[in-house]
């Protein structure tokens, strides 16, 4: 007797890779130039054009974590300076603050937007505050008017965590161009992927030039210039930097991903709208609609599972989705839920109640541009079966 055929597992955050990406990677490998080189330079140029800034204002790196770390160092803040960020983020946001020798301070989120609440930022400011790191959660822009006004009033650096926000705009202006730095992720699940990768966008050309040097050992000339066909160039180490450069092999994927960024965004927008409508009658809390005068990046579609209303706990819901062969995500358990931060700072999740509640109830449903109509109908049917 043959086994019943199982439905394929829907991988959460699966990238949509086309023949163009595959051919470019192959061409890169055949070229013999795998490391930082012409394809990285092209990706920087294309990314700058997409975000409507000068090519000299961006620097490609090997992750958003690297981008955040280097930006914090390039901001030249004094050791131990306080940096305010959101508890509803990936640990990398907070770890980058710590790696730069700075002191993270949490400010709770607005439960409707899931973004850092400007009033909570204001309340967290002390004489030692030097920077704010807003995260454009799920691709929804933070309230940048309010945040930049606070930064101006208190003379604070702003480093935008744009890991979810490649396409995001706030009042027609791209996310990442408000603060001193914007840090983007090209991780596999992100809206543009290079496998692993990231980009730093800087307002000030001197600071971004310093970030670029810091991202490659603190060397004054990058490897492309050292080993290109223009003759050997000596380099000087001018700072103690990091090994954070992007490879051409990664940029080969990113070039074609970026060319398709708006096509993929359209498809994710359709899926997002389909879920909003198809799940509206269930006892779930759905994300609020995108705000007026903004462009949502539609990076995540998150629903809240309140056990009392839904008849199932969040974690049982995750298991049931997995049994239905549908991959899901949790973005995120709030930062103070993790033992490292509790032990180091004495933080308790209850101190930031909105982030705690959201982190304990949230589930991200699949939102990849490669999902078919049949796939998303399967997702909705499974959610209805589990919650209904």
Ligand X SMILES: Cc1ncc(COP(=O)(O)O)c(C=O)c1O
What are the beta bridge partners of residue 362? 304
Does the footprint of ligand X cover residue 362 (CB under 6 A)?
A: no
Q: Which is nearer to ligand X, 136 or 378 (CB)?
A: 136
| Smallest distance, ligand X to C-beta of residue 197, A | 7
Question: What is the distance of C-alpha 118 from the center of its chain?
Answer: 20
Element of type H or E holding 67: helix 64-74
Q: Catalogue the active-site residues.
A: 190
* Cβ neighbours for 2, distance < 8 A, ≥ 6 positions apart: none
Residue from 36, 57, 65, 245 touching ligand X (CB under 6 A): that is 65
Q: State the nearest-atom distance from the C-beta of 196 to ligand X, in Å.
A: 7
Spell out, one character per residue from 112 to 151, where the chain touches ligand X: x when CB under 6 A holds, - when not.
Answer: -----------------------x----------------
- Residue 277 CA, distance from chain mean position: 26
Please choose, from the candidates 241, 203, 162, the residue with its C-alpha nearest in 3D space to the C-alpha of residue 58: 203
43 is a site residue for ligand X (CB under 6 A): no
Q: If binding is defined by CB under 6 A, does position 187 make contact with ligand X?
A: yes
When binding is defined by CB under 6 A, the residue of 94, 158, 163, 355 that contacts ligand X is: 163
Is 161 one of the binding residues for ligand X (CB under 6 A)?
yes
Structure tokens at 98: 């710590």
As a whole number of angstroms, the distance between CA 210 and CA 128 comes to 24
Considering beta carbons, is residue 57 or 62 the nearer one to ligand X?
62
Q: Which is nearer to ligand X, 246 or 271 (CB)?
A: 246
Paired tokens of 370: 């490669």
Helix (H, G, I), strand (E, B) or coil at 137: helix
Interface positions, 196-215, toward ligand X (CB under 6 A): 198
Could you tell me which stretch among 26-34, 60-68, 100-108, 348-356 binds ligand X (CB under 6 A)?
60-68
The binder of ligand X chosen from 36, 63, 328, 364 (CB under 6 A):
63
Backbone angles phi, psi at 97, to 5 degrees: -60, -45
Q: Tell me whether residue 252 or residue 324 sits nearer to ligand X (CB atom).
A: 252
DSSP assignment of 212-237, as one string? Answer: HHHTBTTBSS-HHHHHSTT------B
318 near ligand X, rule: CB under 6 A: no
Shortest distance (Å) from residue 56 CB to ligand X: 23
Phi, psi of 380 (to 5 degrees): -65, -45
Q: Which stretch binds ligand X (CB under 6 A): 63-71, 146-154, 244-252, 361-369?
A: 63-71
Alpha carbon 60 to its chain's center: 15
What residues numbered 293-312 form the site for ligand X, per CB under 6 A?
A: none
What is the smallest separation between the CB atom of 32 and ligand X, expressed in angstroms?
A: 27
What is d(CA 270, CA 227) in angstroms, rounded to the nearest whole number?
46
Closest approach, Cβ 348 to ligand X, in A, equals: 22
Residue 88 φ/ψ region, left for φ over 0, alpha for ψ in the -120 to 50 degree band, beta for the rest: beta
CB of 283 to ligand X, least distance (A): 28
Nearer to ligand X, 187 or 224 (CB): 187
Annotate 197-214 with three-state secondary structure. CEEEEECCHHHHHHHHHH
The SS3 call for residue 328 is coil
Q: Give 137 or 265: the residue with its C-beta nearer to ligand X.
A: 137
Using CB under 6 A, count the residues that bind ligand X: 14
| Helices and strands (H, E) in the chain, number of each type | 15, 12
Please choose, from the candidates 306, 301, 313, the residue with its C-alpha nearest in 3D space to the C-alpha of residue 284.
Answer: 306
72 binds ligand X (CB under 6 A): no
Q: Does 64 bind ligand X (CB under 6 A)?
A: yes
Q: Of 309, 288, 304, which is closest to residue 358 (Cα–Cα)?
A: 304
Q: Closest CB to ligand X among 10 and 135?
A: 135
> What does the per-residue mask of binding to ligand X show for 81-100, with x meaning CB under 6 A?
--------xx-xx-------
Tell me which residues touch ligand X (CB under 6 A). 63-65, 89-90, 92-93, 135, 161, 163-164, 185, 187, 198
């Amino acid at each position: 007797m043959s086994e019943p055929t199982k439905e394929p597992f829907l991988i959460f955050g699966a990238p949509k890779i086309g023949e163009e990406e595959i051919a470019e990677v192959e061409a890169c490998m055949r070229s013999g130039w795998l490391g930082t080189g012409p394809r990285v330079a092209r990706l920087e140029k294309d990314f700058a054009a997409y975000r409507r800034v000068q090519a000299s204002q961006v620097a490609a790196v090997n992750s958003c974590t690297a981008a955040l770390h280097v930006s914090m160092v390039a901001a030249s803040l004094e050791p131990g300076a306080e940096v305010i960020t959101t508890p509803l983020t990936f640990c990398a946001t907070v770890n980058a603050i710590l790696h730069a020798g700075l002191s993270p301070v949490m400010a709770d989120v607005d439960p409707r937007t899931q973004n850092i609440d400007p009033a909570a930022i204001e309340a967290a400011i002390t004489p030692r505050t030097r920077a704010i790191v807003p995260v454009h959660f799920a691709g929804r822009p933070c309230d940048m008017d309010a945040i930049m006004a606070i930064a101006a009033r208190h003379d604070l650096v702003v480093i935008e965590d744009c890991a979810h926000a490649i396409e995001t705009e706030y009042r027609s202006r791209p996310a990442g161009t408000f603060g001193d730095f914007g840090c983007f992720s090209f991780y596999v699940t992100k809206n543009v992927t290079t496998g692993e990768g990231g980009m730093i966008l800087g307002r000030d050309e001197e600071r971004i030039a310093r970030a670029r040097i810091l991202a490659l050992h603190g060397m004054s000339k990058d490897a492309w210039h050292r080993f290109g066909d223009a003759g050997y160039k000596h380099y000087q180490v001018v700072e103690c930097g990091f090994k954070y450069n992007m490879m051409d092999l990664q940029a080969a994927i990113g070039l074609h991903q970026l060319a398709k960024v708006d096509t993929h965004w359209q498809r994710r927008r359709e899926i997002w709208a389909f879920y909003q409508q198809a799940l509206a009658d269930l006892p779930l809390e759905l994300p609020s609609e995108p705000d007026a005068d903004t462009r949502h990046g539609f990076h995540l579609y998150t629903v809240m599972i309140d056990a009392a209303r839904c008849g199932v706990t969040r974690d049982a819901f995750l298991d049931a989705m997995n049994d239905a062969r549908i991959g899901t995500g949790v973005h995120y358990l709030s930062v103070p839920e993790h033992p490292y931060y509790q032990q180091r700072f004495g933080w308790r999740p209850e101190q930031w109640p909105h982030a705690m509640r959201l982190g304990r109830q949230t589930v991200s449903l699949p939102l990849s541009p490669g999902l078919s109509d049949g796939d998303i109908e399967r997702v909705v049917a499974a959610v209805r079966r589990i919650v209904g």
